[in-house]
Every structure is written in C-alpha cells, then in structure tokens.
Amino acid sequence: MSARVPVVLLTAAALGLLSGCGSGDSDAAVQDRPLSAVVPAEGGSAGSAPAEAERLHRQLPGLGPKTLAQVPADTRQAVVVTGEDRDSPKSAVVLYERTADGWRAGKEWPAHNALKGWTDDHRLGDLRSPIGVFTLSDAGGRLPDPGTELPYDRSGAFTIDGTGFEGEPLAGSFDYVVAIDYNRAPGTSPLDWTRPLGAHKGGGIWIHVDHEGPTKGCVSLAKTHMKELLRALDPDLNPVVVMGDTASLRR
C-alpha cells in the first residue's frame, strides 16, 4: 500500500466541478461478508490457455458478448455495476473473482449512479454515468488507507460539503474513493486533472462513499462496503469495473 502526494490540491467546490462525483452517497451498515457463490465454468477445471480464459469470461452473469469482449483476458477481478434501467440512478454492485472453477460472486450491494442514469457517450455535466469496462488502478480518500493493495492517496483535498440532488448532506462522500479509469491517466492520484479524451468528455468518475442520493456520474456504495471493496481489490488480479444499465450490459 503506497501513500502518494496528490498531483493537485483542490478545494471542495473545485473538486465537485471537476469530478463526476458531485452528489449521492449512503451508508447501509451491512457487515463485511466473504465472497461466495461460485459461478461454475462449463465442463471441468480451468486451464491457463487463452481459449480457456475466454471461456471463463463468458460465465460472468448478466453480460452479453459485446460487453464480455471488452473484459481483458488477464482480468481476475470484476466489479459489476448493474443499473436498474437506462434512466435510473439506482444500481447494484457485485464483486466477482475468477478461480480455477469459474467466477466467484460476492454479496450484492445496493448503490447509486448518476441522476439521469447511463450513457454510451458521456459528456461533462450530462449527469449520466459512462457505460463500459474500465480498469481500476488507483484509490484515495480523506481517511487513512483501510488496507488496500491499490496505491492510496490520503489527502484533505478529498473533502466535500453542501447537499446533493435530494437535499442529502455530501460530507464524507470522498472518505474513500476508487478511481475508475475513464478519461484519466492510470497510475496517478484520483485527484489528477489529466483528461486524455479532452475536458468535454468529463472525468473524475469514481466509486465512492454513498450519501443516499444520485451522483453526477460516479458509483457510490455504503462506507462499510467501500472499505470491503478497497481491501479486496488486488492490482495483481488486474481488476476492472463493468458498469451500465441491465439492457446495455446484456448486449
């Protein structure tokens, strides 16, 4: 676990503008639970050949061929975020780990996504979360590292106040965050302002602590679940997030 000095320190107001995360976090105090429910591969045990790896990828439930084709062959952890529908701010999150016998599913966690739902063409300020498969490389937060293997940037710049779309307080939303590698430079602090696709394509899309309301573009989980996710993510397993509404993920 490596601490890192942030590339740029931002005020709470600037951070809210920069990031897709500008609203929406809740805290359902559900106890940590181990991963369970192996999704078996077809046939016997898995080998290491590329064809076998691809066969195992096909076992991720709820994903269609177009979505599965975006999952890297060497990925062994997948955070699957499934939105209720295209225009809904509510979703569910399951962490999967690939074993020799197939994908092992964790507990399903309730989550929020952007106020207006999902989009295939995310734009700055559209209040929709981007659909797709993205790597997870970096983490950070206002609070100390809870024990993640991802590089972790602790900084007071992960501070936000004010209220969300439903009048809920935003304080604590950035206590823990995982940067989603959408329009950012992997290997940098989540606070890094680099936007390889251009500022118009938005950025600052994170998984962060839920404040019981919709976000501007991020995915938010209860603080208990954020800590569990951070402790589970392992860069050696090449983790990704697979995110979108149900219909889009089944394509």
Q: How far apart are CA 172 and CA 170, in angstroms?
A: 6
Per-chain mean pLDDT for the chain? 85
Structure tokens at 41: 């591969």
Number of H helices, E strands in the chain: 5, 13
Q: How confident is the model at residue 100 (pLDDT cuts 50, 70, 90)?
A: confident
pLDDT digits (tens, 9 = 90+) for 24-72: 333 332 233 333 344 444 334 444 556 655 554 457 989 999 999 999 9
**The pLDDT value given to residue 101:** 86
Per the model's pLDDT, the better-predicted residue between 251 and 31 turns out to be 251
CA 195 to mean position of chain CA atoms? 18
Q: How confident is the model at residue 103 (pLDDT cuts 50, 70, 90)?
A: very high
> Whose structure tokens read 């207006």?
116
pLDDT digits (tens, 9 = 90+) for 156-183: 999 999 999 999 999 999 999 999 999 9
119-127, long-range: CB within 8 Å, 24+ apart, which pairs?
Answer: 120/248, 122/20, 122/182, 122/201, 122/202, 122/205, 122/217, 123/200, 123/201, 123/202, 124/199, 124/200, 124/201, 124/202, 124/203, 125/202, 125/216, 126/202, 126/217, 127/214, 127/216, 127/217
Domains of the chain: 12-29+46-249 (2.40.440.10)
Please give the radius of gyration of the chain, using alpha carbons only, rounded to the nearest integer: 17
